[in-house]
Amino acid sequence: MGKTSSVSVATPSFSNGSISVNGVNKANVTKNGNTVNSNYNMNDYEKAIYDYAQKNLAENLPNLNVFNSNTNRDINSQVEAYKNQALQALDSLYKPMIKNLTNDIASRFGNIDNSMFLDNLNAIENNRANAMSNLVQDIQTYKSDLYNNELANRYNYINLLNTLMNGSNNNILNYLSSALANSNAGNSYNQAIASLANRASNNSTMNLNNLANLASLIKYL
């Protein structure tokens, strides 16, 4: 009767994974029980950028399209300055024209109570009225541009914050993916070693069983 031998089965162990930069550990993949954990180690500068972007996104998004009293006051102040500058430019253009017309007619006719003066004066005033009408439109356009520029600056700032956040998250994921790849490579190696050990153990057991059976047969010869 042949003898049997027990077979010990080699079980592959879990291989942790990690990534280091300049000797500083940046990412780890470990196992605790049945749970695999991934961890990224931020340095102080990375944390400062991440916290800044997250904090300011949360603070600015709710008021992105809201113009408070301070913003409205600043824009209205710029519009008022633009209007006053334009009015001064119109006055500096048309007042000398009227004065020159008055002096010219008075020197030629001795007075300004005549049709030539009134016709020329009306022409000047009509031009000034048209200029004022255009100025009103320009002021409205300028005001709209100021609000649009303010919105554009806000959206650009939000996009910058979002880029910082996405950049940080992508950087973290890339490091963790590399650490996981290292872990998987270690696990594959451990699996291969365990498989070889089990095959060697099985072959050894088979040989022992064959020898035992042979010895049993010889006994009856």
Per-residue pLDDT tens for 123-161? 999 999 999 999 999 999 999 999 999 999 999 999 999
Residues 6+ positions from 61 with CB-CB distance below 8 Å: 158
CA distances from 213 to 91, 165, 197 (A): 123, 71, 24
Q: What angle separates helix 44-60 from helix 115-219, to the nearest 10 degrees?
A: 130
* 152-157 contact pairs (CB < 8 A, 24+): 154/60, 154/64, 155/64, 157/60
pLDDT at 214: 46
Model confidence pTM above 0.75: no
Rg (CA), the chain: 44
Domain residue limits, the chain = 17-177
Q: Which two tokens stand for residue 71?
A: 């913003």
DSSP secondary structure letter of residue 114: S
pLDDT tens digit sequence for 178-192: 888 888 887 787 777
